[in-house]
Structure 1
Amino acid sequence: MSIAKNAHVGSSFKVTKAGGKLRALTRKLIQAAFVAWASFTLAFAILYWLPGDPVSIMLGPDAHLNPAELAKLRAQYGFDRPILIQYFDALWRAVQLDFGKSLVTGKSVTESIVTAAPVTAGLAAISLIIAILFGVLFAVMSLDLPGFPRTGFVVSKIPAVLVAIPTFVVGLLLLQIFAFTLRWAPATGSNTWSTMVLPAITLAIPGAGILGQVLAKSLSRAYGEPFVRTLRARGYSEFRILRHAMRQAALPAFTMAGLIIGGTIASAVVTETVFSRQGIGRLMQMGVTNKDINLVCGLIVFSALVYVIINLLVDLLYPILDPRVRS
C-alpha cells in the first residue's frame, strides 16, 4: 500500500512540476509578445511625431512636386489616413510578419531583414567569442594568483575602462591605426572574413569589459568558498582549482553573455555605420535618417524578438547548467 501511495505521490509531483514549467514558459512567451508590441508601438509613435514628412524625405530635396502630386503620393502610401488607422493597419501586418515595403529602397522590409541578418549575426558571433576570451583573461589575471603577484589591481581596472569608451571612438581608433596607418585590415566592406576583424573587435571590447567585471566578482567569491581551501590542502594544482572555481563562477557571466548578444544589434548601428557594413545596424541607421516607418518598425520588432528569444533560451538553459535552480 505504501509503495502504491509513494508512486502516486511521485507521479503527482512530476505532473505538478511539468505544469509549473509550462506556466513559466507561457508567462515568458506572453512577456516576449508584450515586449515586441511595446517596441513596435514606441517606434511607430516616435517616428510619427518626428519632424518631417516621410514622402518628402523619400523624394529628396531636389524633387519639385506641386501639392496635388504630393498629396497623391501620400495617399498612395497611406499617410493621409488617421494615425490610429495607420497604426492598427501596420500592427496587423506586423503580426503576420509583413512590414510592407521600404520607402527608400522600395524593397520588401522582411526580405531586406532576411538578407542583412546573417551579416550582423556572423559579426555578433565572432565578437562574442572575442569578448568571452578577453573577459575570462581579465577575470583570471585579476585574482593575484601565485606566480602573478600584484597584477590583479592593475588588470581589474581594465574592464571598467573598456566599458566606458564609446563604441564609435573604438571603431575610429581601430580604423586609423590598423586600416589607414598599418594597412593590416580593410577599412570597409562586408563580403570577406578580413572585413570582419576590426568591426568584431570594436563590438567585443565593451562586451569583454562587462564579462570581465562580472566574472572577476564571481571568481573572487568562488575563491572565498571552503572548497578552494580543501582542494589546496589536498595538493591540487592552481589550474585544477581555477577550473573548479570557474565552473561555479561562470553562471552569472553566462546570463550576462545572453544580454550582450541581445544588445548587439543596438551596438551594430554604430559599428556597421563606421565600417560601412551592410547589416541590420546599417539598415536601422538608414531607416531612422529617412524616417522610413515601415523599415524601422520591422527592424524594431526583429530586434525585440531576437532579444527575448535569446533571453528565453538563457532562462531555459540555466536550470540545466545549475542543478541548484532545478531543485
Structure 2
Amino acid sequence: MGDGPTARSGAAARRWAGRVGSAVIVVWGAATAAFLAQIAQPGDRATAVLNLRTGQVQERSPDELAPINAEYGFDRSAPGQYLDYLGGLLRGELGTSYQQHRPVWDVISEQIAPTLALSVTALVLAWVLMLAWVLLTAGRGRVAAGWGSAVDSFLASMPQYWLGVVLLLGFAYGLGLFPVVGGSGPVALVLPALTLALPLAGFLAQSTRTEFERVLEQPFVLSARLRGSGDLAVRLRHVLRHAAFAPLTLTGWALGATISGAVIVETVFTRRGIGRTLVSAVESQDLPIVTGIVVLTAVVYVVINLVLDALYPLIDPRVTP
C-alpha cells in the first residue's frame, strides 16, 4: 500500500512543492537584497532622482523634493516601502526608472532580446565544444586524457574580458573576418558568443570528464561493445547519457553566468543588451533598473533549474521525478 501509485504521486508532489518553495525563496532573497541595496545608498534618493532628470547636481529644496518623495514612496517608512516593492513584484512591476522616468520592464524588454540571443547561442556553443572535446579525448589513454584535462583547465581559467579583447584584435582588427564593434546578424554574434562559450566549455568539460571516464568502465558498456556496437555509438548512446547529469545540473548556473557575463561582453563588443543597460544604470545610479535586472536574472536561474529537474527522469528513468 505504502509503495503504490498514490503514495509515489504524493511523494513526487511533496518533492516538487519543496523545489518550487526553494525557487521562491531564492527569488525573494535576491529581491530583498536588491531592495536593501537601494535604501542603503548614501545620500537622499529624491535628490539623486531629481539631479538625474535635470542633469544638474545641486542641493534641492523640500518643495522640489516633495513630489519625488510622493511619486516613489520615499516618504514612507522602510517596511512600508519594502511591502510596496514586494507587492509590485507580485504584480509583475519592477518599478520606474529614475533617469528615463519609464517602467523598468519597458526599458529591460527593449534590450533583453539581444542578450538572450547571445546567452543561448553561447550556451549551445559551449555544450557543442564540450561534448566534441570530451568525446575526442576522454578514455583515450593517458596522453589524450592529460591533454584533455589541461585544455579544460586552460579554457575554464580564461578571463572573459581578456579573451574578448584577444578575439577582437585577432579576428576583427587583424583578419577582418567579423565586425569590429556593434553589427547585427549571425556574423556579429560569433565573437561575443565565443568569448562566453570557451571558458564555459572548459568548466563543463571538467565536470563531465571524470564521470564520463568512470561510466566507460561500467559492465553495461562492455556488454554494448560485445554486442558489436562501435566506439562512437557506445560513447553517444550509452556513456554520454549517464555522464550528462553533471553538466546538466550546472546548466541553470551556466545560463545565469552567460547573462552576467554579457555585462563584460556587450561592453567589449559594443552590443545592445541588458548588460550594457546594467552598466549604464550603475554609472547613473538608476537603482530600479539595477534591481530589476537582478530580480529578472534570479527568476531565469530558478526557472531553468526547475525545467532541468523535470527533464532528468526523461534522460534516465532511474531518477525519481
In the superposition, the TM-score normalised over structure 2's length comes to 0.88
Distance change in 2, residues 1:67/1:262 (3 Å): closer
Say whether 1:288 aligns with 2:285.
no
Equivalent runs, 1:140-289 vs 2, <5 Å: 140-145=135-140, 150-189=143-182, 191-243=184-236, 244-289=238-283
Say whether 1:114 aligns with 2:109.
yes
Contact preservation (8 Å) 2:281, 2:289 = yes
Distance change in 2, residues 1:52/1:273 (3 Å): farther
Q: What is the Cα deviation at residue 37 of structure 1? A: 1.2
Contact preservation (8 Å) 1:144, 1:150 = no
Identity score, percent: 31
| 2:296 maps to which of 288, 294, 302 | 302
- Worse-matched range after superposition: 202-211 or 270-279: 270-279
Q: Show the counterpart of 2:74.
A: 79
Say whether 1:23 aligns with 2:14.
yes
Say whether 1:100 aligns with 2:100.
no
Q: Show the counterpart of 2:118.
A: 123
Distance change in 2, residues 1:189/1:106 (3 Å): farther
Measured against aligned partners, the alpha-carbon deviations of 1:139-194 in whole angstroms (never above 9, x if no partner) come to 12332538xx8332112211111111121111121122122222211133264222
- Worse-matched range after superposition: 117-126 or 72-81: 72-81
Q: What is the Cα deviation at residue 217 of structure 1? A: 1.2
Q: What is the Cα deviation at residue 30 of structure 1? A: 1.7
Consecutive aligned runs of 4 or more in structure 1 exceeding 6 Å deviation: none
| 1:323 maps to which of 302, 306, 317 | 317
Distance change in 2, residues 1:90/1:168 (3 Å): same
Once residues 292 and 186 of structure 1 are traced to their aligned partners in structure 2, the CA distance between those partners, rounded to angstroms, is 31
Measured against aligned partners, the alpha-carbon deviations of 1:24-58 in whole angstroms (never above 9, x if no partner) come to 22222222221111101111212332345555555
Contact preservation (8 Å) 1:74, 1:80 = no
Structure 1 vs Structure 2 CA RMSD: 2.5
Structure 1: give runs of 5+ residues left out of the alignment.
1-8
Contact preservation (8 Å) 2:215, 2:239 = yes
- What is the number of equivalent residue pairs in this alignment? 316
Measured against aligned partners, the alpha-carbon deviations of 1:208-234 in whole angstroms (never above 9, x if no partner) come to 011111221121001111223333444
Q: Secondary structure at the match of 2:296?
A: helix
Once residues 37 and 144 of structure 1 are traced to their aligned partners in structure 2, the CA distance between those partners, rounded to angstroms, is 44
Contact preservation (8 Å) 2:105, 2:292 = yes
Measured against aligned partners, the alpha-carbon deviations of 1:224-274 in whole angstroms (never above 9, x if no partner) come to 112233334444322222222122212222222232123322222222222
Q: What is the Cα deviation at residue 74 of structure 1? A: 4.2
Once residues 177 and 79 of structure 1 are traced to their aligned partners in structure 2, the CA distance between those partners, rounded to angstroms, is 50
Structure 2: give runs of 5+ residues left out of the alignment.
none
Measured against aligned partners, the alpha-carbon deviations of 1:106-130 in whole angstroms (never above 9, x if no partner) come to 2211122222222211111111111
Distance change in 2, residues 1:150/1:248 (3 Å): same
In the superposition, the TM-score normalised over structure 1's length comes to 0.87
Once residues 188 and 53 of structure 1 are traced to their aligned partners in structure 2, the CA distance between those partners, rounded to angstroms, is 38
Q: Show the counterpart of 1:4.
A: none
- Worse-matched range after superposition: 201-210 or 235-244: 235-244
The residue type equivalent to 1:106 in the other structure is: H
Contact preservation (8 Å) 2:47, 2:60 = no
Contact preservation (8 Å) 1:138, 1:216 = no
